[in-house]
């Protein structure tokens, strides 16, 4: 049989038939095929309705970050990640931070921006005036497209931008500002943009409607969290080392990228656990980090007059507690319940605090023992398991010996495993 990736009608097949075809194509053995088809708590029927061409489900560990005290309220944060050390690190930071009073947060309203782009408009200034003169009608029309108004949200404002291009002259771009309440908002915003674009086109009588889509640079949906860690809990030397590391990130994009990756280790894991769109969150965070034209860290560190360490974070977080996978994925629903967040904004403030804790843990570790000390033990466990060690006793022995020898590798783990057998 010809081996081709052109599988016409693949999407129409039942899940089992699809998997059979893929197993054939990729020469999957029985064990591999069963690993894909075995389901946990996400029913295959639900999975099949969530995305296209489903052949199975994929499990990752759900862990819980502990010790979070945010605005004097206790929280636990479920996280889904493949990376060892992440959850232990944020839990440790949160413990230290709660000893100094916990996190304090604030945020803007959960406003997303929808973009409606026009090209070929000759008189940009005149067109701008016409759109603004009709603002109320346009906002009303946008709000007819969705139920957000019923919850106190909806399209609230309309702004005009002019974007110069290399080959297509100036683009006129209308920004529709939509308060999305407890939804992430992409569907509502995109629907509104598509509807309103036609109305604007009718008003302008020139130009072409182009892109109509939400922006993930959610500059109107900003979340902030801060904490102070008492000098005595860290020591002045460690504080100075952390501050040096922060300034390193502030002045070097190579370091800033890793600094921000550490923040997103926390935020993306919690976002995934709660069935939200990790890519939207990442796009928003990184574009915000670069908004001044220089890629900067998402957190800030400084000392107060008493020498305590003040840390803070500010970033856009477009999270929802209703709609999408939060509704259909049973684990996402349960995880949201674990957070105890009653609004999307409360969830975002919690996740910003998590990002801050995650970042502080990384800076503290790198500034003192180095990141590998804590990381290596868990890494060694993964290696021990991947060479076939199954019971705790075997795993612990392989890990202990590799750490003592300072030689953590698959080859060494295999040798020790063989010796144990």
What residue ranges bind ligand MEV (CB under 6 A)? 83, 258-259, 261-262, 265, 362, 366, 371
Q: How far is the CB of 319 from ligand MEV (least distance, A)?
A: 22
Helices and strands of the chain, counted as H and E runs: 17, 10
Residue written as token pair 């034209």? 293
Our CB check for ligand MEV shows the closer of 85 and 401 to be 85
Exactly one of 146, 179, 182, 277 is catalytic; name it: 277
Exactly one of 83, 157, 194, 415 is catalytic; name it: 83
Our CB check for ligand MEV shows the closer of 118 and 301 to be 301
Q: How far is the CB of 61 from ligand MEV (least distance, A)?
A: 16
Q: How far is the CB of 173 from ligand MEV (least distance, A)?
A: 35
- 83 has catalytic annotation: yes
CA R_g for the chain: 25
- 240 has catalytic annotation: no
Alpha-carbon distance of 243 to 363, in angstroms, equals: 9
- 406 has catalytic annotation: no
Exactly one of 375, 379, 397, 414 is catalytic; name it: 375
Per DSSP, helices labelled H in 51-185 are 86-99, 124-133, 135-144
Exactly one of 95, 201, 261, 414 is catalytic; name it: 261
- Show the tokens assigned to 235: 């020591």
- Show the tokens assigned to 282: 């990442």
Vertex 286: Cα angle to 282 and 290 (nearest 5):
165
Our CB check for ligand MEV shows the closer of 102 and 245 to be 245
Q: In whole angstroms, how far apart are CA 361 and each of 69, 285, 370?
A: 16, 19, 11
Q: How far is the CB of 371 from ligand MEV (least distance, A)?
A: 5
- 126 has catalytic annotation: no
Which candidate, 295, 272, 265, places its Cα nearest to that of 371? Answer: 265
Q: How far is the CB of 365 from ligand MEV (least distance, A)?
A: 7
Residue 4 makes CB contacts below 8 A (sequence gap 6+) with: none
Our CB check for ligand MEV shows the closer of 62 and 371 to be 371
Which candidate, 77, 107, 108, places its Cα nearest to that of 357? Answer: 77
Alpha-carbon distance of 238 to 231, in angstroms, equals: 9
Our CB check for ligand MEV shows the closer of 119 and 368 to be 368
Catalytic residue positions, numbered: 83, 261, 277, 375
């Amino acid at each position: 049989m010809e081996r081709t990736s052109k599988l016409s009608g693949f999407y129409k097949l039942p899940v089992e038939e699809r998997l059979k075809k893929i197993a054939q194509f990729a020469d999957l053995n029985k064990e591999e095929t069963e690993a894909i088809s075995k389901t946990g708590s996400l029913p295959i029927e639900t999975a099949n309705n969530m995305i296209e061409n489903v052949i199975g489900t994929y499990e990752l560990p759900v862990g819980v970050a502990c010790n979070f005290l945010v605005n004097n309220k206790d929280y636990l944060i479920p996280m889904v990640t493949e990376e060892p050390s992440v959850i232990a690190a944020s839990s440790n930071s949160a413990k230290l931070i709660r000893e100094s009073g916990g996190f304090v947060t604030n945020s803007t309203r959960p406003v997303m921006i929808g973009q409606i782009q026009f090209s070929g408009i000759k008189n940009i200034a005149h067109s701008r005036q016409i759109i603004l003169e009709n603002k109320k009608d346009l906002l009303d029309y946008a709000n007819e497209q969705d139920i957000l108004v019923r919850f106190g949200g909806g399209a609230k404002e309309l702004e005009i931008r002019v974007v110069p291009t290399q080959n297509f002259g100036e683009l006129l771009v209308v920004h529709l500002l939509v308060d999305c309440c407890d939804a992430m908002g992409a569907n509502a915003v995109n629907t509104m943009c598509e509807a309103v674009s036609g109305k604007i086109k009718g008003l302008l009588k020139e130009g072409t409607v182009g892109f109509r889509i939400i922006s993930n640079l959610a500059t109107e949906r900003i979340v902030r969290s801060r904490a102070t860690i008492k000098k005595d809990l860290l020591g002045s030397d460690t504080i100075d080392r952390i501050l040096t590391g922060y300034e390193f990130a502030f002045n070097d994009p190579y370091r800033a990228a890793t600094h921000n990756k550490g923040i997103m280790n926390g935020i993306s894991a919690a976002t995934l656990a709660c069935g939200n769109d990790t890519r939207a969150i990442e796009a928003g965070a990184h574009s915000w980090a670069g908004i001044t034209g220089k890629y900067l860290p998402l957190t800030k560190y400084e000392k107060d007059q008493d020498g305590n360490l003040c840390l803070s974070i500010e970033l856009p977080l477009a999270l929802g507690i209703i709609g999408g996978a939060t509704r259909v994925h049973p684990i996402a629903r349960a995880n949201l319940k674990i957070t105890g967040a009653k609004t999307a904004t409360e969830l975002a403030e919690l996740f910003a605090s998590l990002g801050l804790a995650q970042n502080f843990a990384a800076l503290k570790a790198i500034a003192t023992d180095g990141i590998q000390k804590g990381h290596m033990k868990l890494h060694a466990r993964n290696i021990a398991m991947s060479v076939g060690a199954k019971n705790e006793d075997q795993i612990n022995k392989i890990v202990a010996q590799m750490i003592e020898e300072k030689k953590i590798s698959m080859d060494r783990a295999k040798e020790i495993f063989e010796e144990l057998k």
